[in-house]
Chain A
Amino acid sequence: MDLDRVDEIIDNHRGEASSVIQVMLDIQTEMSWLPREALTRVNERLGVPLSRVRHIATFYKAFSLVPKGRHQVHVCLGTACHVRGAPRVLDTVEELIGLKPGETDLDLKFSLETVNCLGCCALGPVIEIDGKTHGNVSTGKTEDVLSGYE
Chain B
Amino acid sequence: MTPLRTPEELAAYRQRLADDRPADRPCVSICAGAGCLASGAGEVIAAFETELAARGLEADVDTRGTGCPGFCQRGPVVVLHPEGTCYLQVKPEDVPEIVTSSIQGGQVVTRLLYEDPVTGERAVHENDIPFYRHQERTLLEHNIRIDSRSIDDYLAIGGYSALEKALFDMGPEEVLEEVKKSNIRGRGGAGFPAGRKWEGSRNAKDEPRYVIVNADEGDPGAFMDRALLEGNPHSILEGLIIGGYTIGAREGYVYVRQEYPLAVTNVTLAIRQAEEYGLLGEDILGSGFDFRVMVHKGAGAFVCGESTALMTSLEGRVGEPRPKYVRSNVKGLWGKPTVLNNVETWANVPLIVNRGADWFTGIGTEGSTGTKIFSLVGKIVNTGLVEVPMGMPLKDIIYEIGGGIPGGKKFKAVQTGGPSGGCLPEELLHLEVGFDELTEAGSMMGSGGMIVMDEDNCMVDVARYFIDFLTEESCGKCVPCREGLRQMHRILSNICEGKGREGDIETLEDLSEVAMEASLCALGKSAPNPFLSTLRYFRDEYEAHITEKRCPALSCKALVSYYIDPDKCRGCLICMKKCPSQGIEGVRKQIHVIDQEKCDACGVCFEVCPSRYDAVVKISGEPVPDPLPEEERMIVKVAGDE
Q: Do chains A and B touch in the complex (CB under 8 A)?
A: yes
**A122 and B382 alpha carbons, distance in the complex (Å):** 8
**Among the listed B39, B316, B465, which residue makes an inter-chain contact with A18, where contact means beta carbons less than 8 Å apart?**
B316
Asked if B72 is at the interface (CB within 8 A of a chain A CB), the reply is yes
A83, B602: Cβ atoms closer than 8 Å: no
When distances are taken between beta carbons in the complex, the residues of chain A under 8 Å from B223 are 117, 119, 121
Q: Which residue of A lies closest to B604 (CB)?
A: A139
Asked if B302 is at the interface (CB within 8 A of a chain A CB), the reply is yes
A79, B449: Cβ atoms closer than 8 Å: yes
Asked if B259 is at the interface (CB within 8 A of a chain A CB), the reply is yes
B220, A52: Cβ atoms closer than 8 Å: no
Asked if A126 is at the interface (CB within 8 A of a chain B CB), the reply is yes
A61, B72: Cβ atoms closer than 8 Å: no
**Among the listed B39, B220, B604, which residue makes an inter-chain contact with A123, where contact means beta carbons less than 8 Å apart?**
B39
B72, A22: Cβ atoms closer than 8 Å: no
When distances are taken between beta carbons in the complex, the residues of chain A under 8 Å from B607 are 138-140
B377, A60: Cβ atoms closer than 8 Å: no
When distances are taken between beta carbons in the complex, the residues of chain A under 8 Å from B72 are 120-123
Shortest beta-carbon distance, A49 to chain B, in Å? 11
B297, A80: Cβ atoms closer than 8 Å: no
A135, B38: Cβ atoms closer than 8 Å: yes
Asked if B383 is at the interface (CB within 8 A of a chain A CB), the reply is yes
Asked if A59 is at the interface (CB within 8 A of a chain B CB), the reply is yes
A79, B318: Cβ atoms closer than 8 Å: no
Shortest beta-carbon distance, B432 to chain A, in Å? 23
B379, A117: Cβ atoms closer than 8 Å: no
When distances are taken between beta carbons in the complex, the residues of chain A under 8 Å from B462 are 83
**A139 and B607 alpha carbons, distance in the complex (Å):** 10
When distances are taken between beta carbons in the complex, the residues of chain B under 8 Å from A59 are 301, 318-319, 475
Interface residues on A, range: 35 or more
Once A19-B316, A55-B318, A80-B451 are accepted as A-B contacts, the answer to whether A121 and B375 lie under 8 Å apart by CB is: yes
**Among the listed A115, A117, A122, A139, which residue makes an inter-chain contact with B602, where contact means beta carbons less than 8 Å apart?**
A139
B221, A117: Cβ atoms closer than 8 Å: yes
B34, A120: Cβ atoms closer than 8 Å: yes
When distances are taken between beta carbons in the complex, the residues of chain B under 8 Å from A139 are 602, 604, 607
**Among the listed B219, B259, B379, B383, which residue makes an inter-chain contact with A122, where contact means beta carbons less than 8 Å apart?**
B383
When distances are taken between beta carbons in the complex, the residues of chain A under 8 Å from B289 are none
Q: Which residue of B lies closest to A55 (CB)?
A: B318
**A118 and B375 alpha carbons, distance in the complex (Å):** 13
Shortest beta-carbon distance, B453 to chain A, in Å? 6
Residue from the set B39, B300, B316, B415 with the largest chain A CB neighbour count within 10 Å: B316
B299, A116: Cβ atoms closer than 8 Å: no
Asked if A25 is at the interface (CB within 8 A of a chain B CB), the reply is yes
A62, B258: Cβ atoms closer than 8 Å: yes
When distances are taken between beta carbons in the complex, the residues of chain A under 8 Å from B35 are 119-123
Q: Which residue of A lies closest to B221 (CB)?
A: A79
A119, B226: Cβ atoms closer than 8 Å: yes
Asked if A21 is at the interface (CB within 8 A of a chain B CB), the reply is yes
Once A91-B602, A121-B221 are accepted as A-B contacts, the answer to whether A17 and B34 lie under 8 Å apart by CB is: no
A95, B316: Cβ atoms closer than 8 Å: no
Q: Please, what's the 1-or-0 string for B443-474, where 1 marks a CB less than 8 Å from any CB in chain A?
A: 00000010101000100001001100100000
Residue positions of B touching A, CB distance < 8 A: 33-35, 37-39, 72-73, 75, 218-223, 226, 258-260, 296-297, 299-302, 313-319, 375, 377-379, 383-384, 415, 419, 449, 451, 453, 457, 462, 465-466, 469, 475, 578, 580, 602-604, 607-608
Residue positions of A touching B, CB distance < 8 A: 16-22, 24-25, 48, 52, 55-56, 59-63, 77-84, 88, 91, 95, 115-124, 126, 133, 135, 138-140
7 contacts between A and B (CB under 8 A): A59-B319, A79-B449, A117-B221, A118-B34, A122-B35, A122-B383, A140-B604
